[in-house]
Structures are given as C-alpha cells and as structure tokens.
Amino acid sequence: MVTIVWVDPDQEYLQLVSRFLRVSGRLSEMNVIYISNQEEWERFAASAQHCDILLIHENWLEKGRTYASRCTIAVTEKNSNGETAERSVAKYQSMDALLSVVYSLYADAAGVQWNRTGNRAAKVISVFSSCGGSGKTTVAVNLAKLLSSGGSSVLYLNLESVTSSDIWLEPEGGENFSTIIYYLQHEPEQLPAKLRASIRKDPYTGVYCINPHHSVREMQQLSGGQMKQFIDRILELEEYDYIVIDLESVYHERVLASMQASQWTIWLLLDDLQSISRTARWLDELAFRQPQEHAFIRPSLRFFTNKYTGSMHPSDHSLQISGVLPYIPQWKNVRSKEQLLMNRMFDDNLMQIIHLLGGAAG
C-alpha cells in the first residue's frame, strides 16, 4: 500500500476526491492524507514525514525545495499531464484519468510497479445526448459491436429508464437488471456474484450485456453513489476490455456518476437549433449547480454530429465538434436488427471515432 499526501487549498475539491476514493474502493490500495490549510502543510513539510507520493497544488510547490517523498507531482489548473519540466497532473479531469497519470509518474520516479488490484483495466466509454431522437442507442450498440469484432471483450450497459436495447441484443439466459438493482441497493456484498450470473453474451454481435430491468422507477431511483459502486464492481471483475454505457438523455446524478467513471463520453448532437441549445443549457446548468463535477467531466466530453447530411448550418455555439456520423436513409424504417447492425458506411465512420478516442490502440 502506498501513502499519498494530497495538498490543495480547495477543501471542497479534496472532499470530492475523498468521497470518490471511498465509494470506488480505491482506498484498499492507498493511504491518503489530505491537507488544505497552508499552516498545516508547512508543519507537515517541516516534520520531514515520509510519503510515497506528494500531490501538491502548483501554487504551494516551492521550486528547489526537497520534500520527503519518493515522487512529488504538481497538480496544475491547466491540462498539462506530464507536459511540463516537472512532474505534473491536471487537476480538472476524471479521477480515473488523473490517477492513471499518477500511477505512471510514480512508477517512473520510484522505479517500481504499483501493484494495483487486477490485471485488465477496462476502458469506459459513455454515449449521451441532451435530447431524444439523436440516435444514441444506435451509436452505442454499434460501437460495442465494432469493438467486439476487433477481438476485444466488450460489455454494453443500458442505463435508460425505458430501454429498447433488447431489440438489438438478446443474451441467452441470466438474471435481469432488476435483480442487479436490488442487490446494489440492499445486499451490495453479493453484487459481484450476481453480476457474474447476469452478464451474458449476445450470440449475434459477441457483445456482453444484461437483460433489461422491469420497472422505470427502479432505474430512476438509483443514486449517483450507487451507480459509481455498480461500475466499480464491474471493473473489479477484470473480464472486459471495454464497457460501453448507453446513458439516458436526462440531467440526473446517475448520469453524472457514469460520466465521471468514463474515460470518454461521446456526446451526440444533431445539426439542429434545439439540440445545440439543450446541450449548451445542460452544460451551463452543470457548471452552475455542480462546478466541481463539471470540472471533472468536461475534459472527457467529445461532441459528434450524428445524422450528418453533408453540410452544417452556421451556429454561434462554442462547442467544438470532433467529428460526424452519417445520416443513413435505410434506417428511417428499421425492420430488423441486421438492418441496424450491418451498415458498412456507418461502421467506417464510427471506426474513425474509435481511432480518434484512442480506443483502437488499446
């Protein structure tokens, strides 16, 4: 177990970090000391108490000073993971991404391999849109199918209150999502066993999934903490290379928790005033109501225009579009899952997104 001293003047930020580490179960691999008061920090530094990793805000880091740590990392306000002369990590990014940088810098500096739990580190990709009709489930299912066809073990999770995923993915046997929700809420210690009993492979796509839940209310009542715990328990199974999460188009804490657990969130837009306006308002609301969560989530968002017809209308929005997915006329009336899951042009464009996110490189 490594000892981390995390020094930052923003007490609220450290509380958010502490809550994440506690809920995610990461404290089993580290002991963390939090310091937000400068006088307390000066006393600690003067004591020369040893730690493995010192994570210190850039404003409190004194150049030339020697600290009693095996690896000192500056926590910067800007997105500068390892890009400065000193070891550094960007403060505002997903916690999973931040800790991944910390793991790497510590291993390089100390010449050791951090013996973390598990051998397979799954990449989590969420698919989201702020309004319905954007083709979110179509993109998520095809994304999972493409990753699986490349030889990866892929789990597709549909977290909508009302889902249509069972039309496209038909696992053989297994418990349904209602069972998972029950154990998540009432007997969490039994959850890993129930997950193994519930996750099954769809024979057509090779994608792993869980049969849908029975109740709209069951999904709507899940808290952000429960959703984080659910995703963490799946990661601890160490059986998947990718987890693709099909999120509901709502502002809800379970959606935010899923985004925070994701390396990337594919946010779908339509070339439409309503779609762009709702996206801007959604992000403004998050920044106003939950600024810390906004700071963690925003760097992992990538915006893509779906149902692209070849040209886009001028807009004054500030969203940076990372790519497009084509409008497929044959999907105006879908009659079979083969029709939805076997379109070469769509697959080619979606594969470009996978490469853009770095997914194909593993």
Smallest CA-to-CA distance from 68 within 33, 116, 97 is with: 33
Q: Is there a domain that residue 282 lies in?
A: yes
Write down the pLDDT at residue 127.
98
Write down the pLDDT at residue 117.
45
**Same structural domain for residues 45 and 165?**
no
Percentages helix, strand, coil for the chain (3-state, rounded to 5) are 45, 20, 35
Strands 154-158 and 242-246, sheet pairing = parallel
Contact 313, 276 (CB under 8 A): no
**Same structural domain for residues 74 and 151?**
no
Q: Is there a domain that residue 115 lies in?
A: no
Low-confidence ranges of the chain (pLDDT < 70): 23-25, 79-86, 111-120, 312-317, 359-362
Owning domain of residue 20: 2-110
Write down the pLDDT at residue 337.
87
Phi, psi of 262 (to 5 degrees): -100, 140
**Same structural domain for residues 65 and 178?**
no
Q: Is there a domain that residue 67 lies in?
A: yes
Q: Is there a domain that residue 352 lies in?
A: yes
**Same structural domain for residues 248 and 336?**
yes
| Count, residues in the chain | 362
What residues does 3 pair with on adjacent strands? 31
Question: Considering 50, 82, 110, which residue would you say is the last residue of a domain?
Answer: 110
Longest CA–CA separation in the chain, Å: 71
Instruction: Find the CATH number of the domain harbouring 162.
Output: 3.40.50.300
Question: Considering 61, 80, 110, which residue would you say is the last residue of a domain?
Answer: 110
Strand, helix or coil at 73?
strand
How many domains, the chain?
A: 2
What's at 60, amino acid-wise? W
Write down the pLDDT at residue 223.
92
**Same structural domain for residues 85 and 174?**
no
Write down the pLDDT at residue 273.
84
Contact 234, 243 (CB under 8 A): yes
Question: Considering 110, 145, 173, which residue would you say is the last residue of a domain?
Answer: 110
